[in-house]
Amino acid sequence: LMTDVAIQVTYQLRRQIMEKINRMPFRYFDGTPHGEVLSLLTNDVDTVSRTLNQSLTQIISSLVTVVGVLVMMISISWQMTLVALLIVPLAMTIVMIIIRQSQKFFRQQQDYLGHVNSHVEETFGGHVIVKAFNGEEKSIRRFDGYNNTLYGAAWKAQFFSSVMMPVMGLIGNLGYVAVVILGGWLAIRRMITVGDIQAFIQYVRSFTRPITQLASASNVLQSTVAAAERVFEMLASEEEPPDIASPVKVEKIEGRVEFRDVIFSYEPGKPVIKGFSARIEPGQRVAIVGPTGAGKTTMVKLLMRFYDVDQGQILIDGHDIREFTRGDLRRLFGMVLQDTWLFNGTVMENIRYGRPSATDEEVIAAAKAAHVDYFIRTLPEGYRFELNEEVTNISQGQKQLLTIARAILSDPPMLILDEATSSVDTHTELLIQEAMGKLMEGRTSFVIAHRLSTIRDADLILVIRDGNIVEQGTHDKLLARSGFYAELYNSQFEVVEAIGAA
């Protein structure tokens, strides 16, 4: 029975954590290492499960034994039973003192275990960089630091818990002595027989044994409490604000986008976007340029409502984006991110992620449009080729081509391309630009890129500096102004033109 309960609880906790993760705001992922979440799903939930499966059964058995033995003790002598019970509050007081001291170390143990898992996950994911920069020793030193803190917390937790057994043994022996003294006095007065005293002492042993077992299980219980605290803290943490009760439904999106005095900050009092205003007409190709940290990617995150603006509005076809459900809003955009994301599965499954209902023929057509079909067919199993967990069995450029095919397949009314061609060679870039040019026809498109070809073809260029639009216009008009855009162009693109001329 308890095994079934443990399995059900484990199943439900993991499901609730996974559902919770999907409802968490982006700020949670910004500040929480992946290994920490993995530790919640595995170590913490497993700790709770083990306790339910083993220790809880022991606790129930011990409680039933205590009640049964107590009845027999009372039937022999209520006076000696009263003396025997005097050890219980003393034992509980000492146990509570020890638990109070050790509980914080059990919580630290679970927290530090999450840190260890985070470092291992980080090192494994970046093993190529670690080896390329001879960072093995540094990685080991960092791991030793995390492992030492985990060891320290675990040692202190176990030390305090181990004190319980000898203390409970001492208290139990004091109970025996008190019972024997009282029993001798009662026997002298012929109020009880020697045989009753012997039987009572056996019952006292049976009474203290389960209490001692409960004390010995306290370290497991404390570890479980610490794990459960972490799990329930995560489940109780703040979620994304709910969607509006009566969301807007638009049958056809034209693609008119407007930013009205948008202000946004990741941390209170430190705005990243400061009074951002712009109007993009349907079908325009908008290039967003600016130095690193200017707020280009943040603007896109706000547009997708990964974050909500602090002040101002973002409108699509005259509707505030908060009037859409998040699902409906994000279906309006096809995205190709700077950091490509592909999952463990076939090439076909990864492309179809853009539109799960797509047929195989539609997936292949999208791959051809992204000029990746030929490469896929050279793989051992073609579209059925399995990408490994870290997707290290294809190149970075090939990953990006697959994400572009995924965006093409989704056939959205608007596009967001974040450094979409930054990891491919010149020839591949030309093929991608051709495919993207056809894809962007009639669609409002936002391109965050520094490639000259993308910038020149844009209908509108938004030049961002320190969270503000400092200039906007076409490539030629902005160059003619000899402003900040011209400064960027001269510093970054004249080299490209010189190489091309050579």
Cβ-based neighbour number of residue 151 at 10 Å: 13
Give the per-residue pLDDT at 360: 92
Q: Is 418 helix (H, G, I), strand (E, B) or coil?
A: strand
What's the rounded Cα separation, in Å, for the pair 488 and 288?
12
- Does any domain span residue 357? yes
Give the per-residue pLDDT at 377: 92
- Does any domain span residue 474? yes
Tokens read off for 79: 């006076």
- Does any domain span residue 252? no
Cβ atoms of 453 and 431 closer than 8 Å: no
Give the per-residue pLDDT at 312: 92
Asked if 161 and 302 sit in the same domain, the reply is: no
Asked if 330 and 226 sit in the same domain, the reply is: no
Residue 501 has pLDDT above 70, yes or no: no
Give the per-residue pLDDT at 238: 87
Closest of 58, 46, 45, 32 to residue 118, by C-alpha:
32
Asked if 179 and 230 sit in the same domain, the reply is: yes
Q: What is the CATH number of the domain that holds 352?
A: 3.40.50.300
Residue at which a domain ends, from 166, 201, 235: 235
Q: What is the DSSP string of 214-272?
A: HHHTHHHHHHHHHHHHHHHHHHTS--PPPPPSS----SS----EEEEEEEEEEETTEEE
Residue 321 has pLDDT above 90, yes or no: yes
- Edge-to-edge strands of the sheet including 444-448? 333-336, 414-418, 444-448, 285-289, 460-465, 468-473
Rg (CA), the chain: 33
Cβ-based neighbour number of residue 51 at 10 Å: 23
| 125-163 pLDDT, tens digit each | 666 667 776 777 888 888 888 888 888 888 888 787 777
Cβ atoms of 457 and 285 closer than 8 Å: yes
Residue at which a domain ends, from 235, 268, 289: 235
pTM, full prediction = 0.70
Greatest mean pLDDT among 210-214, 325-329, 492-496:
325-329
- Does any domain span residue 222? yes
Residues spanned by the domain of 151: 2-235
Give the per-residue pLDDT at 33: 76
Residue 421 has pLDDT above 60, yes or no: no
The percentage of residues in the chain with a pLDDT greater than 70, rounded to a whole number, is 88
- Angle formed at CA 325 by CA 355 and CA 442, multiple of 5 degrees: 55
Give me the number of domains the chain comprises.
Answer: 2
Cβ-based neighbour number of residue 7 at 10 Å: 13
Beta bridge partners of 416: 335, 446
Give the per-residue pLDDT at 37: 82
- Does any domain span residue 250? no
**pLDDT band, residue 107 (cuts 50/70/90):** confident
Residue at which a domain ends, from 172, 205, 235: 235
Mean pLDDT, rounded, for 248-257: 88
Give the per-residue pLDDT at 215: 67
In a 10 Å sphere around its CB, with 0-12 CB exposed, 13-18 middle and 19+ buried, how is residue 65 labelled?
A: middle
The phi and psi torsions of 271 (rounded to 5 degrees) equal -65, 135
Contact partners, residue 141, CB within 8 Å, separation at least 6: none
Residue 497 has pLDDT above 80, yes or no: no
- Does any domain span residue 188? yes
- End-to-end Cα separation, the chain, in angstroms: 78
- Does any domain span residue 178? yes
H helix or E strand, kind and range, residue 311: strand 311-316
Asked if 369 and 468 sit in the same domain, the reply is: yes
293 vs 382: which has the higher pLDDT: 382
| 184-215 pLDDT, tens digit each | 888 888 888 888 888 888 888 887 777 777 66
Mean pLDDT is lowest, of 52-56, 80-84, 340-344, 369-373, for: 52-56
Asked if 30 and 86 sit in the same domain, the reply is: yes
Closest of 455, 485, 489, 453 to residue 471, by C-alpha:
485
| 262-294 pLDDT, tens digit each | 999 888 888 888 888 889 999 898 988 887 777
Q: What is the DSSP string of 55-72?
A: IHHHHHHHHHHHHHHHHH
Q: What is the CATH number of the domain that holds 161?
A: 1.20.1560.10
Closest of 401, 488, 417, 477 to residue 452, by C-alpha:
488
Asked if 217 and 302 sit in the same domain, the reply is: no
- Angle formed at CA 92 by CA 91 and CA 96, multiple of 5 degrees: 120
Q: What's the CA dihedral at 475, 481, 485, 489 to 10 degrees?
A: 70
Q: In whole numbers, what is the pLDDT of the chain averaged over residues?
A: 81
Mean pLDDT, rounded, for 49-54: 75
Residue 347 has pLDDT above 70, yes or no: yes
Mean pLDDT, rounded, for 239-247: 87
Mean pLDDT is lowest, of 55-69, 267-281, 414-428, for: 414-428
The runs of H, that is alpha helices, within 335-474 are 347-352, 360-369, 373-378, 396-410, 426-440, 452-457
Closest of 303, 257, 295, 308 to residue 468, by C-alpha:
295
**Residue 238 C-beta-side C-alpha neighbours within 13 Å:** 7
- Does any domain span residue 247? no
Give the per-residue pLDDT at 389: 59
